[in-house]
Amino acid sequence: MSHETLDIGALDIGDKVIAITGASSGIGEATALRLAAHGARLALGARRTDRLEALAAKIRERGGQVLVQALDVTQRESVEAFIRATVDQYGRLDVLVNNAGVMPLSRMADLKVDEWERMVDVNVKGVLFGIGAALPVMHAQKAGQFVNVSSVAGRMVFPTAAVYCATKFAVHALSEGLRQESPFLRVTTIAPGAVESELTSTISDPAMKREVDEVFRKDMLPADAIARAIAFAIGQPADVDVNELVVRPTAQAY
């Protein structure tokens, strides 16, 4: 009887074309570096193009292929141009990582309606615009994958985070609906717990920002922990769809 050796560390990522939104820092940056190390061909989008260019230079120095484009996920035309540039450069799009997000926490009674609107625009509409721009490409290919970065806040609600949680619940719902409707697409929701990122920098109340930092900073995961989860989901064989990964620090209870 012959026995095949199974390399559980092997990931099918090399040469895939992967576009990442919010790629200038945090999870997006870490994901770009990790996927590039696996041989992926990347398109990186964010508003801070100087940060993107520095990241792209690092990837190119290591032999990677990368396209950089200014991207505002709240603008449908900007997202469509980003996807179009990716396909023009590489001829296809295998994966879109919808990663861009903001988290300006506040109590509902503070009535920070502008911040509520910003969260809906980035966290929900940004994901929808990404799906809307990439879906025709993937339909034409009869293949593709969406990786939508949500949060543990998409599974439970916290004080000061009602609107943020609502947007992340929406990401879960959109991902699951898209998965059910698209038998030839893979759809993955990544739900991080506390992670080192710039999310808390969007909190406008200094006292609340300090409070959140004090609660979470001691147990935060490095962004690369989430990048590894994303790489795992992307790197599975074509007939395997990893639908959801929840990744928390071991010490995080909720």
Which residues have a catalytic role annotated? 164
Residue type, 204: S
How would DSSP label each residue in the chain? ---PPP-TT--TTTT-EEEEESTTSHHHHHHHHHHHHTT-EEEEEES-HHHHHHHHHHHHHTT-EEEEEE--TT-HHHHHHHHHHHHHHHS---EEEE---------GGG--HHHHHHHIIIIIIHHHHHHHHHHHHHHHHT-EEEEEE--GGGTS--TT-HHHHHHHHHHHHHHHHHHHH-TTEEEEEEEE-SBSSSGGGG---HHHHHHHHHHHGGGPBPHHHHHHHHHHHHTS-TT----EEEE--TT---
End-to-end CA distance of the chain: 48
How many angstroms separate the CA atoms of 241 and 251, rounded?
28
C-alpha R_g of the chain: 18
